[in-house]
A and B are shown apart, each in its own frame.
Chain A
Amino acid sequence: MTVQQAPVALTAKELTSDQEVRWCPGCGDYAIIKAVRSALAEIGTPRDRTVFVSGIGCAARFPYYMATYGFHTIHGRAPAIATGLKLANPELDIWVVTGDGDCLSIGGNHTLHVLRRNVDVNVLLFNNAIYGLTKGQYSPTSRVGTKSPSTPMGSIDNPVSAVEFALGCGARFVARSVDTLQKHLPVVMKRAHAHKGASFVEIFQNCIVYNDGAFAHFTDREIAADTQVFVEHGKPLLFGKDNDKGIRLNTSTLKLEVVKVGENGVTVGDILVHDETNKVLATLLAQMQPPSFPVALGVLYAEEGLDYTTAVYAQVAAAKSKKKAVPMAELLRSGHTWRVGV
């Protein structure tokens, strides 16, 4: 947000457009749009100042279902279009909705650059580890061995980690959540929105039709407590049903390890305390994977920095104070001119 202004009263219903939603019944996208509407209602930016920009894919239909401004564009290019929009009008609240193929395959280059430039937009990655709209091919985040119409013998290429990629690109806000976490998701979105500069939020989203249960090994209710750790700035990285497991840094290997408080002399004091301004820690947390580690959810990394459009307009202002914008007729006569005839 560039301009501070009083939030308006807004309800989730007022944020819902009159268009019929076309996602498959049971798709994780329903849960995400619910969370987005509730976050936006709390944020209170007027609907006419909010824009959703999307590329192509199931997730990309999102803008049609929001009673805000929306632009459903082309495959992979939403970050570039959002950048141009922000350049034209830095006062808009811009959300980019993208999927794993859109964001990390065809549009990987634009994701890289919107993040490193720190354009003040919020990127919501709906990661379902599959191409849904094109009927089920494996995606850049699918695990090795994913059987799909294009990989009948299983996929052989290594998946990309979205948050590690984002951190590598120089993103200054990187967070993670799950479609079903209806309390957590709006909180993360509000944080993303409050961050000035590019925010990147990976949301694990279940595609019930083509990749059902892709994340079940850490999102299933019964096991979630032991396979997820909610990171919070200034708080120890504890998890588990009894909140007695923790993440500790092994200083001799420079690796993280899971320990149990009370076992082998481990105390809460030994557990790492989350510091969301520590990029090294964020990177280590981003790498944690089941079964040996829980998946880190929440704001992994957040650090303020100059956002792109502010810098762009500072240069425009500097140019204006240095050089007078003389009228066009005068500009055309700048430099060498000569008169012919009268």
Chain B
Amino acid sequence: MSAVSAELPRHIDRRELESVVIRFAGDSGDGVQITGSQFTDTTALAGNDLATFPDFPAEIRAPAGTTFGVSAFQINFGARSIATAGDAPDVLVAFNPAALKVNLSDIHPGGLIVLDTGTFSARNLEKAGYATNPLEDGTLTKYRTLKIDISKLTLEAVKEMGVSSKEGLRCKNFWTLGLVYWLYGRSRQSTIDWLQRRFASRPEIANANIAALNAGHAFAETAEMPGEISSYVVPPAPLEPGVYRNITGTDAMAWGLLAGTQLAGIKLVFCSYPITPASSLLHALANLKQYDIVTFQAEDEIAAACSAIGASYGGALGITSSSGPGVALKGEAIGLAISTELPLIVVNAQRAGPSTGMPTKTEQSDLYQAVFGRNADSPVAVLAARSPADCFEVGIEAVRIATKYMTPVIVLTDGYIVNAAEPWRIPDMGAYEPFPVQFRTDPEGFHPFLRDPETLARPWVKPGTPEMMHRIGGIEKSFSSGHISYDPENHQKMTDVRAAKIDGIANDIPLQTVEDGTEGGALAVVGWGSTYGPISRAVGNLRAEGEDVSHVHLRHIWPLPRNLGDLLGKFDRVLVPEMNSGQLVTLLRAQYLLPAEGLNQISGKPFKISTIEAAIREQLEK
């Protein structure tokens, strides 16, 4: 068999594309995530807008070649604004038969599939569960395929580089990246620079990978590539002027929380316990200790929440993070922070559940838990980030609310948001108004549950402050003295005032606006969290077709913006797409007695734009 055979329509012109979705898939050990993030960086530098979706297997080191060990990275990039990682890939790069097997059904008919034929051995086919070889049995006739023995060509490319054949074979992701770079007319330079930095101490590895990258690129460019294929062009997107970077939700959250504590003028103490997909936030902050951040890996989820509360009691801002099951364990501690009215931030990177569920898959099914999921009347503020970059703003807002209102704030992200990256126009830090914390130091007339008449927040006193000694605790306290109280009327009053304090935050957040569309009409599509991307694209597409549909997106889940009920009341219908069985929709129905309807998907995967478009059409036809 020759090294390459192509089955492509006879003639493809170099043509300009508005957007492309590529999915890289292979074994965890194939370097799929690195390949994807390199392609992302290069694509961002080329000026495209983009969105990515890294999809990890649950097992850390699943047996090679198996379907459950397949790792994937999808990127959608374009000459226009990109809202999601894309519904269906135009291009699939499959590093082995298992990757083909798992991903094939997602590919557009007519899509391009790049395959490493060198991996289609009888053994690998069997491990992937193929009874016959899909390269030969007609499975791929619907698609354009590029069948290349990438393994062999990579080994040839690196043979002079002084690496073992095992190390050499591991360069095949860069060989493939070189080929894909050629297909889309991308520069190799930023990847070459990255490889040189990354393997500074092992130049032979850097050089082998660079040789593979160049060889893959040259292969596509020269005679060895079938003559029919030419390069595609995806021109830069019309982005707002400014300085851009790529950012993951994790990094944006870490920086947002740090920026927030700097604006508040207090120390950040971050206490967490490892859990997928939240752990990366602990890692990110542990690398920012030069900012006087203390990070603490606690013995369990409960201790993580409690040590954060202890830190807040001490005059720092205690922040903890987890995913749904861990947040469940923190519930009692959150109640203590509510009762003692101490600031606390709980970041929940939601994942598919219940119980262990699917830790590496995304879902947004912890809204009830965030808003209601504790014993007793225990209101907290709840915020949700809509995209990776949005985590920065939400992190700052969480610090502002927690410190100004002396309350826990639960911040909802999800597995998709924390791992995915997007280009971000770096904000001007000078545009953020500082909100310095005022610790009380005046003993005159002091008791710990005095209240600010406007915010209803109690004073924050650091232990160590002279003449301000006082005791607080989880037992109900007297409104008028702060001492323990079992008085029935007092309990009613304290319950009311705790609720009023949280409700009052609604006066201190922006009024709800319409993201896209009009303030009233036939249909409002209301979203929260990471459904922002597919909803905004679906609504945008249908509005372009002249449909009367608008997009409303919530950042503040609790309290809700105070004009939200009136705003939604101006629409004939309200549709709420959620990656859960209908949690926000229940909340909206309960709050506003609206006949809102849900569009619910609980598959561990983000919504497809087409799914939301179909649901909108159905609503509009009713």
Interface of A toward B, CB cutoff 8 Å: 17, 19, 46-49, 51, 53, 63-64, 66-74, 77, 80-89, 91-92, 109-110, 112-113, 312, 315-316, 319-320, 322-325, 327-329, 331-333, 335-342
Contact = CB atoms under 8 A, between A and B. Distances in A.
Contacts of B289: 315-316, 319-320
B463 A85 contact: yes
Contacts of B483: 19
Interface in B215-242: 236, 239-242
Given A51-B463, A84-B307, A341-B242, A336 B41 contact: yes
A312 to B, nearest CB: 6
Given A77-B303, A327-B429, A83 B310 contact: yes
B466 A48 contact: yes
A319 B315 CA distance: 22
B314 A84 contact: yes
B471 A69 contact: yes
Nearest to A309: B294
A39 B44 CA distance: 65
B245 interface: yes
Given A80-B302, A320-B290, A72 B472 contact: yes
A329 B333 CA distance: 35
Interface in B239-264: 239-246, 255, 258-259, 262
A338 B44 contact: yes
Secondary structure class of chain B's binding surface, majority of residues: mixed
Interface in B466-487: 466-475, 483-484
A331 B291 CA distance: 11
A165 to B, nearest CB: 15
A242 B45 CA distance: 88
B464 A342 contact: no
Given A73-B473, A89-B463, A338-B45, A332 B429 contact: yes
Interface string B15-49: 00000000000000000000000000100110100
A303 to B, nearest CB: 23
18 contacts: A48-B467, A71-B313, A72-B471, A72-B473, A83-B296, A87-B314, A87-B316, A88-B267, A88-B318, A89-B316, A92-B463, A320-B292, A331-B258, A332-B255, A337-B243, A340-B47, A340-B240, A340-B242
Interface in B246-303: 246, 255, 258-259, 262, 267, 269, 271, 289-294, 296, 298-300, 302-303
Given A17-B471, A87-B314, A109-B303, 16 more contacts: A48-B466, A53-B310, A64-B484, A69-B464, A71-B471, A83-B303, A84-B271, A85-B314, A88-B316, A89-B464, A327-B429, A328-B262, A337-B426, A338-B245, A341-B240, A341-B242
Given A89-B314, A110-B299, A339-B244, A325 B292 contact: yes
Contacts of A320: 289-290, 292
A282 to B, nearest CB: 24
A84 B467 contact: no
A319 B306 CA distance: 26
A109 B155 CA distance: 53
Contacts of B271: 84, 87
A340 to B, nearest CB: 5
B243 A339 contact: yes
B164 interface: no
A328 B313 contact: no
B165 interface: no
Contact of A84 (B243, B292, B296, B484): B296
A88 B314 contact: yes
B132 interface: no
Nearest to A323: B290
A315 B474 CA distance: 34
Nearest to B461: A69
Nearest to A340: B239
Contacts of B333: 74, 77
A336 B470 contact: no
B290 A341 contact: no
Contacts, number: 210
A46 B267 CA distance: 24
Given A331-B255, A339-B244, A340-B244, A316 B294 contact: yes
Nearest to A315: B289
Contacts of B190: 336
A85 B336 contact: no
A276 to B, nearest CB: 27
Nearest to A51: B463
B302 A77 contact: yes
A324 to B, nearest CB: 7
A63 B462 CA distance: 16
B439 to A, nearest CB: 12
Which of A87, A312, A336 has most chain B Cβ within 10 Å? A87
A87 B294 contact: yes
Which of B302, B336, B426, B473 has most chain A Cβ within 10 Å? B473
B409 interface: no
Nearest to B392: A332
Contacts of A337: 243-245, 426
B426 A340 contact: no
Contacts of A340: 47, 236, 239-244, 425
A72 to B, nearest CB: 3
Contact of A89 (B245, B296, B315, B318): B315
A109 B428 CA distance: 45
A157 B259 CA distance: 52
Contacts of A329: 428-430
A87 B45 CA distance: 42
Interface string B325-363: 000000011011000100000000000000000000000
A70 B298 contact: no
A51 B299 CA distance: 23
B603 interface: no
Interface string B428-447: 11100000000000000000
A69 B47 CA distance: 57
Contacts of A339: 242-244
A63 B469 CA distance: 11
A244 to B, nearest CB: 47
B310 A82 contact: yes
B427 interface: yes
Nearest to B45: A338
